[in-house]
Amino acid sequence: MKLPARITICEVGTRDGFQIEPDFIPTEQKIEVVNLLSDAGIPEIEVTSFVHPKVVPQLRDAEEVMARITRRPGTRYAALVPNDKGAVRAVDAGVDVIHTVLSASESHNLANVNMTIAESIERMRAVMQVAERARTPVACGVSTSFGCPFEGDVPLPQLESVVRRLVDMGARAIGLADTTGMANPRQVGRAFEHLMPKFPGIEWTLHTHDTRAMAIPNILAGMECGVTHIDASIGGLGGCPFAPGASGNVCSEDLVHCLDAMGVETGIDLDRLIAVSRRVQEIVGRTLPGQIVKAGKSTRRYPVPDTVAARITTARA
Ligand code: COA
Ligand code: ZN
């Protein structure tokens, strides 16, 4: 496999994950998780979102979380915004990066942000203006890039057209999101192979959900095309409140374990990350989908059973 030597992981659990938790996660605990994640060496954290507090009440404390986290030098603190009102709030809260959201399919965009794609694009223009005035970089996420829970297939020309409109208005970073885990590795490869040469100089991110156990294969397919920015979520938290059937993102510690095992650098301390995942399980009060927390790392060893030990000694003698 031809893989990049280094991957930049953006942790989205405190946004994509906490937004869909049935119970409101207390502000104090959100802050604790963000701080633990930055201590584990996560380079970028999507801390929260600046959306309508009635639409996503779980993240209604966005300002307070941003104000009270400990800013670790070297960590970039991002937040998701759907419109310019969100962008103003995010800039006022001091985010390092604005992540925007719109969908490649009309019905999911309407369900998620109550706008047509064309209306969303116009809002993105306003977001860019707010960000430019504040000198805050913007990364544009495209939901349902590989399939829509309402419409099914999202044809590549449709995705390309949305990406083109974002690039034309100045987007330099684009994230393709598989919102409900419909993508497969070949499809991911085809999408990036198609889009990358058409939009040179764009920094691409892949945002996956493990709804159908294809997140890591999809990420590997993206990496083979040269994608070096990947979103992931601690413990495998995550899901979109406005996409039926959505479930967790690719699990951060499982992904870091996989990359470590292959010698791909992330700069993240895996043992600390596993400890964060355990803490998050305590906070949400249930077992999360991540596998490494349960299985241990592949370097884990068990004591040899006595009967086997005796036979090894005999065999070696
Ligand atoms: N933050 C806070 N309030 C906002 C806001 C934002 N980003 N955007 C709009 N509002 C307020 C407006 O000020 C207005 O308030 P008022 O009634 O007191 O005047 C009200 O919301 C309605 O504004 P409007 O532009 O008509 O918004 P809407 O009701 O059509 O909702 C969104 C549009 C985008 C704000 C809403 O659908 C939303 O927050 N979606 C986020 C979905 C999400 O997070 N999905 C998961 C992530 S993928
Ligand atoms: Zn997501």
Q: Quick: pLDDT tens for 283-295.
A: 999 999 999 999 9
Show the tokens assigned to 9.
């992981």
Show the tokens assigned to 301.
């060893």
Q: What is the mean pLDDT of residues 103-120?
A: 98
pLDDT-based confidence at residue 217 (cuts at 50, 70, 90): very high
* CA–CA distance, 257 with 235 (Å, rounded to integer): 12
What is the best residue among 51, 119, 242 to mutate for testing ligand 1's pocket, by most ligand atoms within 8 Å of CB?
A: 51
Alpha carbon of 125 to ligand 1 centroid (Å):
16
Q: What is the mean pLDDT of residues 31-41?
A: 98
Which atom of ligand 1 lies at the shortest distance from residue 53's CA? 2
pLDDT-based confidence at residue 317 (cuts at 50, 70, 90): confident
Alpha carbon of 177 to ligand 2 centroid (Å):
7
Alpha carbon of 311 to ligand 2 centroid (Å):
52
Where do the domains of the chain lie, and which CATH numbers do they carry?
8-316 (3.20.20.70)
Residue 189 has, within 13 A of its CA and on its CB side, a CA count of 10
Which pLDDT belongs to residue 290?
97
Show the tokens assigned to 100.
């925007």
Which pLDDT belongs to residue 189?
98
Is there a catalytic annotation at residue 225? no
> What separation, in Å, do the N-terminal and C-terminal C-alpha atoms of the chain show?
42
Q: Quickly count: other Cβ atoms within 10 Å of residue 130's Cβ.
A: 21
Tens digit of each residue's pLDDT (9 = 90 or more) over 154-201: 999 999 999 999 999 999 999 999 999 999 999 999 999 999 999 999
Tens digit of each residue's pLDDT (9 = 90 or more) over 200-212: 999 999 999 999 9
Q: What is the mean pLDDT of residues 90-102?
A: 98
How far from the centroid of its chain's Cα atoms is residue 97's Cα? 14
> Chain-wide mean pLDDT for the chain?
97
Annotated active-site residue in 10, 240, 251, 258: 240
How far from the centroid of its chain's Cα atoms is residue 238's Cα? 9
Which pLDDT belongs to residue 201?
97
Q: What is the mean pLDDT of residues 98-103?
A: 98
pLDDT-based confidence at residue 245 (cuts at 50, 70, 90): confident
